Chains A and B, each alone.
Chain A
C-alpha cells in the first residue's frame, strides 16, 4: 500500500529519522513503536504528506508523494489520508457536524450530510451532532476526531499516540475504534505509539530506534 525507500529526515542538519525500506499491504494494520524522540511523529507526518523528507521516496497507493505538486499533494492528503492527532484539534468554533463537513469541504469533495450522520452513528455519537467541541468529554471528542479522519473514506488512516493518558479500559476502547473504523473503510492503519499496552493487540510492528 505504501512503500518507503532510503528515507531520512533531518532538522537543521541533525538526523532524526532513517528508514531504509518499509513496504505495507493495503488494509494491513501497523504499530510504529519507539521511545520519545525516535522520530515516530516525524515518520507519521511524512506518511501524511505534511512533511517532505530530506531524502528518499514515499509512495502511497501507487502515488509518489515527493513528485506531487503542492496543490495536488493537498488534495491527495484530503481525499486519501485520515489523521487522528494526539491532541485531537477539533475546530472549537464549529459543531461536531460542521467539523466533519469541514473535512469534506477542504478535501474538495461533495458535502454529504448522510455520510456524516452515518459515521457519527457508527461511533455512537449521533446525539452529539450539534454540540460544540468544548461540550464533549475527552472520549466523545476522540470519537469525533476519528469520525473526522474517516468521513472521506481514506485509504490510509494515521493515529499519533491515540492512547496516551488513557486508563486501560479507555485505551482498549480507543484502539478498538481505530481498528474497526479502518476495517470499515478498508484503510491501512498506522498507529504511532510508545504505549506498550496495545503492542499485544497488533501483530505488525515497526520499531524505531532511539537516536543518540
Chain B
C-alpha cells in the first residue's frame, strides 16, 4: 500500500474516464511525435543530400526548382545549359570541383542521371557488385532502386522519356542500357537513381544528328547538341560565395542557386504547415489537460469522504495533496508513454505507406531528443491540472465533511 497503489486503484475504479483522458493526451503527444520524427528525418536527409555542394547552376528559372530537380531529383529541371558554357565555368578560379548532370529520362519512375564518376565519389558510393560505367549506355544502379526494380548486374533495360511523373511516356526503344554495377546503400538520393555517363543521355536524344557509332558520341556530337541540365559546384574558397553566383547570373544564360539558402527557404515554407499541425497537437494536449482537471475535480468531489476518512486514519494534508498530484502525473505518464509509442508506430506506418512515393523515407524506429521535452510537457500538464484538486484535498475540513455525511 502506497500512493501509487491508491492512485492506481482510483484510476481503475474510473476505467472509462481514465481511458478517455489517457487517449486524448496520447493523441496530442502522438501527433507531435510524428511531426518531430518526420521533420527531423526529412531535414537530416535533405541536409545529407546537399552536403558539400556549395552552388548549383542550371538554366534560367526558379532557384528552388533548380535545387529540387538537380540535388533531390524531385522537381522537373528548368531547362538545359550548354556543354561549352559549363566547361568555361569549370575553369573559373572560384570553382574547385564541378559535377555535370544530364537529366532527361527515367526507368519505372526512377531517374536516369547522366554524370561522371565524381558524383559517385561525392556521395561516398561504394560498389556492391560490378564496376562503374566506362562507355555510353553502361549503367550503375543505386542500392534501393536495384532492390525495388529487381534489375541486377548483367540485365538490360530501356529508359522512358521524362521525369517519371506521367503515364504513357515515350520509350527510347532503340537504345538499351546494360547494368554493369550496383552500388551499396549510402542513405542519400544516389540510392534511388540510375547512374550513367553524360554521353549516354546525349546518345539517346541524338535522333536528329543520325549518329551511328554510339561509342564515339562525344566526338561525333555537334557542339549545339551537347547539353547538360545542371552543374553541382564546390567552391575553391569561402570567398567564392561572394563572387561566383553573381558572375554566373550576370555573365551567362545560366542561373545560380544556393542549396543552403533554398533548402532553408523550403523548410520555412513547409514549417508553416508543420507549425499549424504542431499548434493543433498542443491544443489537443491542453484539452487533455483540461479533461484531466475536470476528471480529478469531479473525483475529488466524489471522494471527499474518502479523503476525510484518510485524514482520520492519520494522513496529513500533504499526503492527500501528494495523492492528487500523483494521480495527475500518473495519468499524464500513461498518456505520454502511450502517445510516444503511438507516434513511433504511426511514423513507421507512414514510412511504409510512403515507400511507394520513392522520395520520402521515414522510419518510426528512431528517437529525437525533443521527445524528452514532450515527456516533461505532458507531466507538467498533468500536475498542473491536478493543482487545484490537490489544493482542495489539502484543505479538506475533516469534521465538517464527516458531519455532513
Q: Decide whether A and B are members of one complex.
A: yes
Binding site for B on A (CB under 8 A): 41-42, 45, 48, 50-51, 70-71, 74-75, 77-79, 83, 85, 87, 89, 91-94, 98, 101-108, 111, 148
Question: In the assembly, what is the distance between CA of A74 and CA of B310, in Å?
Answer: 10
Closest to A80 in B: B314
- Decide: A91 and B2 in contact? CB cutoff 8 A: no
Q: Does B1 contact A104, Cβ atoms closer than 8 Å? A: yes
Contact A41 B405 (CB under 8 A): no
Whether A78 contacts B13 by the Cβ 8 Å rule is no
Closest 6 CB pairs of A and B: A78-B314, A93-B13, A107-B314, A51-B399, A101-B1, A106-B315
Q: Which residues from chain B contact A101 at a C-beta distance below 8 Å?
A: 1
Give every chain A residue within 8 A of B294 (Cβ-Cβ): none
Q: Which residue of A lies closest to B318 (CB)?
A: A71
Answer yes or no: B319 CB below 8 A from chain A CBs: yes
B368 interface residue per 8 A CB criterion: no
| Closest chain A CB from B317 CB (angstroms) | 8
Contact call A70/B316, Cβ cutoff below 8 A:
yes
Instruction: Let me know if A50 and B5 touch, CB within 8 A.
Output: no
Other CB < 8 Å A-B pairs besides A42-B399, A74-B311, A85-B402, 7 of them? A50-B398, A78-B314, A79-B314, A89-B309, A98-B5, A102-B1, A106-B315
Complexed CA–CA distance, A106 and B1 (Å): 9
Main secondary structure on B side of the interface with A: helix
A89-B305, A102-B1, A102-B6 known; A107 vs B312 contact (CB < 8 Å): no
Closest chain A residue, CB of each to CB of B311: A50
Residues of chain A with a CB closer than 8 A to B242's CB: none
Give the docked Cα–Cα distance between A102 and B6 (Å): 9
- Count chain B CB atoms within 10 A of each CB in A45, A79, A107 and give the residue with the most: A45
Q: How far is the CB of A152 from chain B (nearest CB, A)?
A: 8
Residues A77 and B402 in contact in the complex (CB < 8 Å), given A93-B10, A105-B2: no
- Distance in angstroms between the alpha carbons of A176 and B72 in the assembled complex: 88
Neighbouring A residues of B317 by C-beta, 8 Å: 70
Complex Cα gap A111–B5 (Å): 14
Contact with A along B277-310 (1 / 0, CB 8 A): 0000000000000000000000000000110111
Residues of B within 8 A of A98 (CB): 1, 5, 9
Contacts of B372 in A (CB 8 A): none
**Who on chain A is nearest to B10 by CB?**
A93
A92–B9 CA distance with the chains assembled, in angstroms = 9
Q: Does B313 make an interface contact (CB < 8 A)? A: yes
- Cα A102 to Cα B310 in complex, Å, equals 8
Measured between beta carbons, the chain B residues less than 8 angstroms from A50 are 311-312, 398-399, 402
Give the nearest-CB partner of B310 in chain A: A106
Q: Is there a chain A Cβ closer than 8 Å to B12's Cβ?
A: yes
Q: Find residues 1-37 in chain B having any chain A CB closer than 8 Å to their own CB.
A: 1-2, 5-6, 9-10, 12-13
Of all chain B residues, which has the CB nearest A45? B399
Q: Which residues of B contact A87 (CB under 8 A)?
A: 305, 405
A85–B309 touching, CB < 8 Å: yes
A45's contact among B309, B402, B405, by CB below 8 Å, is which? B402
Would you give the shortest CB distance from B305 to chain A, in whole angstroms? 5
Of all chain B residues, which has the CB nearest A160?
A: B402
> For B1, what are the chain A residues with a Cβ–Cβ distance below 8 Å?
98, 101-102, 104-105, 111
| Per-residue contact bits, chain B 369-405, to A (CB 8 Å; 1 contact, 0 not) | 0000000000000000000000000000011001101
In Å, the complex CA distance between A83 and B317 comes to 18
Of B309, B317, B405, most A-chain CB atoms within 10 Å:
B309
- Set A41, A70, A71, A103: member contacting B313, Cβ < 8 A: A103
Whether A78 contacts B315 in the complex (CB less than 8 A), given A89-B309, A91-B306, A111-B1, comes out as yes
In angstroms, Cα B306 to Cα A103, docked, is 12
Find the B residue at minimum CB distance from A104.
B1
Most buried by B among A79, A91, A104: A91
- Are B398 and A75 within 8 A (Cβ)? no
A48 to B398, CA, bound (A): 11
Q: Which residues of B contact A108 (CB under 8 A)?
A: 314
Among B399, B403, B405, the one with the most A-chain Cβ atoms within 10 Å of its Cβ is B399
Neighbouring B residues of A51 by C-beta, 8 Å: 398-399
Contact A93 B12 (CB under 8 A): yes
Shortest C-beta distance, A194 to chain B (Å), equals 15
Chain B: minimal CB distance from A157 (Å): 13
A77 CA / B315 CA spacing, docked (Å) = 9
A83 to B13, CA, bound (A): 25
In-complex Cβ contact of A83 among B6, B305, B312, B405 (8 A):
B312
A32 to chain B, nearest CB (A): 15
Most buried by A among B2, B316, B319, B402: B402
